[in-house]
Amino acid sequence: MNATVRAASLLTNRLVTLDAKPLPAGEFWKLVGQVDPADLLDLDVVDIVDLVGCDHDDAVRYRTLLDATTAFTFEQERLLEGGVMLISALDERFPTLLSERLGVACPPFLLVAGPIELLAQPGLGVVGSRDAAPDALDVARGAARAAAAHEWSVVSGLARGVDQVAMAAAIEAGGQAIGVPADGILQASRNAEVRRGVHDGHLCLASPFAPSAPFRAGNAIGRNKIIYALSQIAFVVAADNGSGGTWSGATEAIERGYARVAVWRGVGAAAGNAALVARGATPITDVSTLFDLDPTVPPPSQDSLF
């Protein structure tokens, strides 16, 4: 871990609870646009104020975060012993699609368990309602099997319904999957099937949250953008019209250019699917055509990182 990555990891530290609040994505990328985080490592509060141009309270906060090296390193090593790796967004191993597509909404770090190389390989996002109809679940299975045949990972959110069905079908077909949970990575790994998938090298977990963070609706919304941005093509199997996590995630991805979004329009399509097409998603009636789509997306409306 070089000095820049170490400083960035400390400033966004969610491994150890401190009196100082870690930098969220927007604040982190604003700071990175001003200075190399490594330049702050040996500065006192007064010098941080001078270099960054921040107020005294923010400089104290930065200094407090940067001073937690021993506790942070201990916790980082403990996680690593359990198979969980922390990757800063300034680390060369961090998936470039996330930073390119999300801009200042890109998470400043990921906690990763399982084959990290999957994050740099083509992936098909498969998302949909927890209460999708049986026909829609069959579509999710078919898309996942097609992804495995094309040597693409399935990227999804580990939720009941479309997510779990698609990820299981990909692994059963000899493929691999990336799961982005809406809770901490240690919480998600309590599931025996999830642990087995990670251990066998079929599943990579990637989380932008604290290791033991509980499920929250806000986390579910936040992780949706990561699913889309990690996907060459994002496939919405079933969405309610105007409400729900699948709808909000898909509309945000279309509006902000997080991914090329495709939507199922065959048997089992839900009420919101046609509305997503009207907003700019690509209609799909044969899952085999997903892999012929151009993954290029318009420049995101999010501000760039620098």
Same domain, 238 and 172: yes
Q: What is the CATH number of the domain that holds 248?
A: 3.40.50.450
Q: Angle formed by the axes of helices 134-149 and 162-172, to 10°?
A: 40
User: Looking at residue 299, what is its pLDDT?
Assistant: 59
Domain that holds residue 235: 116-292
User: Looking at residue 218, what is its pLDDT?
Assistant: 86
The rounded distance, in Å, linking the Cα atoms of 135 and 4 is 50
Per-residue confidence of the chain (306 residues) as pLDDT tens digits?
A: 799 999 999 999 999 999 999 999 999 999 999 999 999 999 999 999 999 999 999 999 999 999 999 999 999 999 999 999 999 999 999 999 999 999 999 999 999 999 999 999 999 999 999 999 999 999 999 999 999 999 999 999 999 999 999 999 999 999 999 999 999 999 999 999 999 999 999 999 999 999 999 988 888 889 999 999 999 999 999 999 999 999 999 999 999 999 999 999 999 999 999 999 999 999 999 999 999 999 887 655 555 565
In a domain, 204, yes or no: yes
The answer to whether the beta carbons of residues 235 and 141 sit under 8 Å apart is: no
Residue 112 is which amino acid?
V
The stretches of the chain forming alpha helices (DSSP H) are 3-11, 25-32, 45-52, 56-66, 69-81, 96-102, 134-149, 162-172, 185-188, 192-199, 217-229, 245-256, 271-278
CA 52 from centroid of its chain's CA atoms: 29
Same domain, 131 and 261: yes
In a domain, 99, yes or no: no
Torsion of CA 116, 122, 128, 134, to 10 degrees: -100
The answer to whether the beta carbons of residues 166 and 143 sit under 8 Å apart is: yes
In a domain, 252, yes or no: yes
The answer to whether the beta carbons of residues 283 and 277 sit under 8 Å apart is: yes
Same domain, 155 and 278: yes
In total, how many domains does the chain have? 2
Same domain, 155 and 250: yes
Same domain, 146 and 58: no
pTM: 0.93
The rounded distance, in Å, linking the Cα atoms of 276 and 116 is 32
